[in-house]
Amino acid sequence: MPETNAAALVSLEAVARQYRVRAGMFGPTAWLRAVDGVSLGVRRGETLGLVGESGCGKSTLARLVLGLERTTAGRVYFDGEDVSGLGPRAMRRLRRRMQIIFQDPFSSLNPRQSVGSILEEPLKIHRMGRRRKRREMVARLMDEVGLRPEHTGRYPHEFSGGQRQRICIARALALKPELVVADEPVSALDVSIQAQVLNLLSDLQTKYELTYLFIAHDLAVVRHVSDRVAVMYLGRLVETMSRADFDRPPAHPYTEALLNSAPIPKVGAKIKSAPLKGDLPSPLYPPPGCRFHPRCPLAKGLCRKEDPPLEEKSPGRFIACHFR
């Protein structure tokens, strides 16, 4: 396991989440393994980047961390406390300590509420201050994220995409959490706005000593903001590394493929290796052995029979591969 409970604010131990699905109205049922045996820790005060293709289980894992989904197996620990089986009342107590920033800022904001009402709502629910005090806190939140406090009476559609995401960030910070899960917070924004939002998140982390679980599929973004990176493929971790490891040759073949799929910054630059062949297999029927072997250029007979464990190959770098 990459981290121990004592070393992490959030710790996952062999966490799994399965969904029972049916093929058509009268078809057979099967189990979709969205997350399958993930063990991971997020250290206090760090940014852990979680990357992988769409459908690999990143967002499901985030929902398990936040208690928005129940684990099928395994344990989730927050600050040393097992929160896997907590009831609604106990989870409500923890809500102040963990919040989320969603990918699409427009759909995650109520269009019928003013921005001031949106930001004040969590303060009301958790009974933080009287009306005048709450409004002062809302104005302060608007200023913290670079918006004008006098615009609290406006509605979400009156703001740009980048401004709406700043409102979502302010809402996440309203309860002064310790952990913030950022689920692809800049993927819906223009490239020119992405850097501004990322810099804002970095400044707020320093100011409030926040811990981030940063989910993305763009490794360039993850490299810019993360202290460590975890790579997921088809519900499982295949590699975890520090930021320094980005400057070394890629270890897992899937990580190498993700790095090589990033846009080439220079005209005339050559692609380092051929892109991956095939599509992500269905989590309903994952391949036997190593789940990456149908697309892996290093695959051999052993890969089709045995699933490699996630092992520490070098200090702080865990890899699930028979030949790396």
Element (H, E) at 191: helix 191-208
pTM for this one?
0.90
Answer whether residue 25 shows pLDDT above 60: yes
Kindly report the average pLDDT of the chain as a whole number: 88
Comparing 35-49, 142-156, 257-271, the range with the smallest average pLDDT is 257-271
Answer whether residue 267 shows pLDDT above 50: no
Question: Cβ(247)–Cβ(264) under 8 Å?
Answer: no
pLDDT digits (tens, 9 = 90+) for 142-182: 999 999 999 999 999 999 999 999 999 999 999 999 999 99
pLDDT computed for residue 268 by the predictor:
47
Answer whether residue 136 shows pLDDT above 60: yes
